[in-house]
């Protein structure tokens, strides 16, 4: 196979932002998630939990509540006091309507998705109607009482609203606008502990029960018509921050400040009896920090915490068959490529939310055996830090292979820089006269000869910009798909000879364009899943595609059809362990000397795929056959040849953000150890352990 010198990079200081709120769309099986830095992400559960859309954040934007309404429309509300509708096709906030009530703390949509209720800082609850064409329109103000409305919940019939404030809960009649019931929450606490009780979240069941979770760590069940407490459970000594009810209303999930989530179920008191009671059934400790958002889907419990983790826990009794569906999934690192590599210049560009860092890799002049750590003769150097001006976060960035051009784009600006390398130091100059294109750019890719820059834009179009030598650029052409689409392009791949360009848009169509004639060449047959990575082979011009359900395809661009290897793999099927991986493949690279080798990586593994060897067949009893590198090393030569297969997986470098082949002897891997992220998170609640 070969020996590689691995540059193990662990100085990318990425700290993902914590999860603030989530919203689940039942019919589309999508989850919208908002982070504390204002970024909004959409995960598609049907496409193997892939993050299909990401809207970068903004320094002043803070999203406190998200909800899906009227089918596919996503609305968010935050402390700036606006209700924002997000345009998921163009990946930006589309319309903002001021609520005129101060910061908005909570928002809820009724069952039909026709009305939105918002809870404001001044204590008023306002109703908005969802306008079919776009946006929302103010309908009316409900009764206002002093005290910020921190949580809201509609009754399933849409006639009443439960609003939680500080020290009290009230139930409002939607039609008349008056408060039908006011329940004081702070009465059942001993006088010594009397501090204000903040009701963090609330749920309204169709039976008339109001469930509230407050800052004393209690989950309480109230009868709203009589205003009495039916049941009270204390789940933790810290606050119970979030609450979610299942559709059938027989199970709720509660998230606390200590990182624990609890499930409550409505169970009969006696087996087979009529009387039912809410019982705390399952505790989970998936997070280390506050769990500020929980969602209850028909088959799983989803929680998102301030430790930037999204955890999806399928419920065993709801899972139909025992398989990979029942596995716990944890997402910490984003499903996007945040590192660009300039291969010839040995530079790495790291993309943070508001700045870019350019590093030069170190070097060594010693050699060693398998598994040895070689001493560095030159340390990696931090060459450049580019701060983006303005409050907007960066959408995408790239560096050219020769290392002399850096480009990045925010929501309203596009920047291109020319980098001069003078010996050991560098100088940066901004390129003036950047063409006026429709911003933002969703993906940037530099051609391998550093002569052209490809900019992915919305409506499926890609702009081709020529980079002129002393420091200028010129817009050459705009490539558009023949059928036209409303979605934006999010992945690009260009061939090494500069003739072909592949682009994937949000509707999962892969279009291939010819750059010699600037026209559309062909479309890859549609597949039912999202594309997570693609690359064009330097010599054979085969397009290698990996999908979010871990399938691999190879499409020959000159012949406009799948290659024989790809058909053989699809006929025999990929190994079960390969298909049961959590994280998507985010980068594909090729070995320039050996045409049959492909380097793939996801968060937990690095794989060199050798197309000349046979694919492993999943034997019924042997489950470790896929990852067999360690066993192969100990076998003799003839035995090794018998057991050799195409997938050579290395799990030594985890968690991986990026891996690339610099040349045929050199690999670079960018890791982000979980402990390094944890050390920079906000303070968690103390867990007192005996003996410490």
Partner 1 sequence: MVRRRRRQEKEAAPVAPAAAPPSSEDDEAPEELSFGTARAEAEAERKLVGEAARRHRELLKEKRRRRQELFAEQKRRKLLPEALLQELAAAPPARADERSPAAAPEFSLDKRPQGVSAKQNEGRIPGQVKKDKAGGTRSKGNYIAVHLKDENLTGLHQQTAKDFIHSQLYGPGTNRTSANEFFSIANKKDLVKKAAVQFVDKSWGLEKKQRATKFTKYWVARKVTNTL
**Exposed e or buried b per residue across 411-447, where buried means at least 16 C-beta atoms within 10 angstroms of its C-beta:** beebbbbbbeeeeeebeeeebeebeebebbbbbbbbb
**Cβ of residue 385: shortest distance to partner 1, in angstroms?**
14
**Cβ of residue 292: shortest distance to partner 1, in angstroms?**
9
* Nearer residue to partner 1 within complex by CB, 33 or 306: 306
Using rule CB under 8 A, residue 679 touches partner 1: yes
DSSP string, 24-77: EETTTTEEEEEETTS-EEEEETTTTSEEEEEE--BSS--EEEEEEETTTEEEEE
Using rule CB under 8 A, residue 331 touches partner 1: no
C-alpha to C-alpha distance for 495 and 447, rounded to whole angstroms: 8
Which residues between 287 and 316 bind partner 1 (CB under 8 A)?
Answer: 288, 290
Q: Biggest alpha carbon distance in the chain?
A: 84
Site mask for partner 1 (CB under 8 A), range 27-66, x = bound: ---------------------------------x-x----
Of 97-105, 170-178, 316-324, 375-383, the window that binds partner 1 (rule: CB under 8 A) is 97-105
Edge-first strand order for the sheet with 381-387 is 339-342, 347-351, 355-360, 381-387
**Cβ of residue 60: shortest distance to partner 1, in angstroms?**
8
* Nearer residue to partner 1 within complex by CB, 228 or 425: 425
Q: How many residues at the interface with partner 1, by CB under 8 A?
A: 33
Using rule CB under 8 A, residue 655 touches partner 1: no
Which single residue is written with the structure tokens 């409002």? 172
Using rule CB under 8 A, residue 691 touches partner 1: yes
Of the candidates 84, 110, 153, 257, which one interacts with partner 1 according to CB under 8 A? 257
Q: How far apart are the first and last CA of the chain?
A: 50
Using rule CB under 8 A, residue 687 touches partner 1: yes
Taking a C-beta distance cutoff of 8 angstroms, is the pair 525, 509 a contact?
no
User: Which tokens go with 545?
Assistant: 């595609």
Taking a C-beta distance cutoff of 8 angstroms, is the pair 494, 449 a contact?
no
Using rule CB under 8 A, residue 375 touches partner 1: no
Of 267-275, 452-460, 594-602, 675-683, the window that binds partner 1 (rule: CB under 8 A) is 675-683
* Nearer residue to partner 1 within complex by CB, 293 or 503: 293
What are all long-range contacts of 501-504, with beta carbons under 8 Å and residues at least 24 apart? 501/454, 501/462, 501/464, 502/534, 502/536, 502/543, 502/557, 503/456, 503/460, 503/462, 503/479, 504/531, 504/534
Site mask for partner 1 (CB under 8 A), range 67-86, x = bound: ------------xxx-----
**Cβ of residue 309: shortest distance to partner 1, in angstroms?**
14
Question: Burial, 633: exposed, middle or buried (Cβ in 10 Å; 0-12, 13-18, 19+)?
Answer: exposed
* Nearer residue to partner 1 within complex by CB, 238 or 583: 238
Using rule CB under 8 A, residue 357 touches partner 1: no
**Cβ of residue 198: shortest distance to partner 1, in angstroms?**
6
Using rule CB under 8 A, residue 425 touches partner 1: no
Using rule CB under 8 A, residue 490 touches partner 1: no
Of 235-243, 322-330, 493-501, 623-631, the window that binds partner 1 (rule: CB under 8 A) is 235-243
Which residues between 508 and 567 bind partner 1 (CB under 8 A)?
Answer: none
Question: In this structure, what are the phi and psi dihedrals at residue 676, rounded to the nearest 5 degrees?
Answer: -70, -35
The answer for residues whose C-beta is within 8 angstroms of residue 286's C-beta and 6 or more apart is 259, 261, 303, 305, 309, 311, 313, 328, 330
**Cβ of residue 689: shortest distance to partner 1, in angstroms?**
6
User: Which tokens go with 422?
Assistant: 């003078």
C-alpha to C-alpha distance for 527 and 504, rounded to whole angstroms: 12
Using rule CB under 8 A, residue 192 touches partner 1: no
* Nearer residue to partner 1 within complex by CB, 99 or 135: 99
Using rule CB under 8 A, residue 440 touches partner 1: no
| Three-class secondary structure of residue 376 per DSSP | coil
144 prior amide bond cis, ω within 30? no
C-alpha to C-alpha distance for 425 and 638, rounded to whole angstroms: 52
**Cβ of residue 330: shortest distance to partner 1, in angstroms?**
17
Using rule CB under 8 A, residue 377 touches partner 1: no
Using rule CB under 8 A, residue 131 touches partner 1: no
* Nearer residue to partner 1 within complex by CB, 86 or 105: 105
Of 100-108, 414-422, 455-463, 547-555, the window that binds partner 1 (rule: CB under 8 A) is 100-108
The answer for residues whose C-beta is within 8 angstroms of residue 405's C-beta and 6 or more apart is 399, 416, 417, 418, 419, 446, 450, 453, 467
The DSSP bridge partners found for residue 41 are: 33, 54
* Nearer residue to partner 1 within complex by CB, 304 or 460: 304
Q: Where does this chain bind partner 1 (CB under 8 A)?
A: 60, 62, 79-81, 102-103, 105, 121, 148, 195, 198, 215, 237-239, 257, 288, 290, 675, 678-687, 689, 691-692
């Amino acid at each position: 196979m070969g020996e590689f010198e691995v540059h193990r990079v662990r100085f990318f200081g990425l700290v993902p932002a914590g999860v603030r709120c989530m919203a689940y769309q039942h019919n589309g099986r999508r989850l919208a998630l908002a982070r504390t830095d204002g970024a909004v992400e959409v995960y598609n559960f049907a496409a193997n939990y892939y993050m299909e859309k990401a809207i970068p954040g903004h320094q002043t934007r803070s999203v406190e509540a998200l909800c899906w309404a009227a089918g596919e429309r996503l609305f968010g509300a935050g402390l700036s006091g606006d209700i924002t509708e997000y345009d998921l096709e163009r990946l930006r906030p589309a319309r903002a309507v001021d609520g005129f009530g101060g910061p908005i703390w909570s928002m809820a949509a009724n069952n039909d998705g026709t009305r939105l209720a918002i809870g404001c800082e001044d204590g008023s609850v306002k109703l908005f109607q969802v306008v079919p064409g776009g946006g929302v329109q103010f309908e009316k103000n409900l009764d206002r009482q002093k005290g910020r409305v921190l949580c809201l919940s509609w009754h399933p019939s849409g006639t009443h609203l439960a609003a939680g404030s500080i020290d009290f809960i009230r139930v409002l009649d939607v039609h008349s606008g008056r408060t039908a019931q006011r329940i004081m929450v702070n009465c059942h606490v001993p006088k010594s502990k009397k501090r204000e009780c903040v009701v963090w979240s609330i749920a309204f069941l169709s039976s008339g029960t109001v469930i509230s979770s407050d800052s004393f760590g209690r989950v309480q069940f109230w009868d709203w018509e009589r205003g009495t407490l039916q049941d009270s459970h204390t789940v933790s000594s810290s606050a119970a921050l979030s609450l979610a009810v299942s559709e059938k209303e027989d199970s709720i999930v509660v998230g606390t400040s200590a990182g624990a989530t609890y499930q409550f179920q409505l169970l009969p008191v006696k087996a087979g009896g009529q009387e039912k009671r809410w019982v705390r059934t399952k505790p989970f400790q998936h997070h280390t920090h506050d769990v500020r958002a929980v969602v209850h889907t028909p088959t799983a419990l989803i929680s998102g915490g301030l430790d930037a983790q999204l955890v999806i826990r399928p419920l065993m009794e709801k899972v139909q068959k025992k398989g990979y569906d029942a596995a716990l999934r944890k997402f910490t690192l984003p499903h996007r490529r945040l590192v660009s590599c300039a291969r010839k210049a040995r530079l790495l560009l790291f993309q943070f939310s508001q700045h870019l860092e350019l590093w030069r890799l170190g070097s060594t002049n010693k050699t060693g055996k398998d598994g040895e750590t070689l001493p560095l003769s030159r340390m990696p150097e931090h060459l450049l830090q580019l701060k983006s001006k303005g409050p907007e976060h960066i959408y995408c960035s790239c560096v050219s292979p020769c290392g002399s051009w850096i480009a990045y784009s925010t929501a309203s600006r596009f920047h291109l820089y020319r980098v001069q390398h003078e010996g050991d130091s560098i100088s940066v100059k901004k390129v003036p006269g950047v063409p006026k294109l429709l911003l933002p750019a969703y993906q940037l890719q530099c051609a391998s000869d550093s002569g052209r820059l490809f900019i992915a834009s919305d409506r499926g179009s890609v702009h081709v910009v020529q980079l002129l030598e002393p420091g200028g650029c010129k817009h050459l052409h705009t490539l558009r798909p023949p059928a036209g689409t409303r979605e934006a392009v999010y992945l690009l791949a260009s061939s090494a000879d500069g003739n072909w360009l592949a682009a994937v848009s949000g509707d999962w169509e892969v279009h291939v364009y010819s750059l010699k004639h600037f026209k559309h060449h062909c479309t890859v047959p549609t597949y039912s899943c999202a594309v997570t990575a693609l690359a064009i082979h330097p010599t054979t011009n085969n397009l290698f595609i990996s999908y979010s359900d871990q399938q691999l395809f190879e499409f020959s661009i000159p012949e406009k059809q799948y290659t024989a290897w790809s058909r053989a793999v699809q006929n025999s099927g990929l190994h079960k362990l390969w298909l049961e991986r959590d994280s998507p493949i985010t980068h594909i690279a090729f070995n320039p000397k050996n045409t049959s080798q492909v380097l793939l990586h996801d968060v937990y593994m690095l794989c060199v795929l050798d197309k000349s060897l046979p694919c492993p067949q999943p034997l019924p009893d042997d489950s470790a056959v896929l990852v067999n590198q360690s066993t192969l090393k100990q076998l003799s030569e003839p035995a090794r040849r018998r057991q050799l297969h195409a997938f050579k997986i290395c799990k030594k470098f985890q968690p991986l953000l990026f891996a690339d082949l610099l040349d045929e002897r050199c690999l670079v891997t960018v890791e982000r150890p979980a402990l390094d992220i944890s050390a920079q998170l906000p303070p968690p609640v103390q867990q007192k352990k005996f003996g410490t």
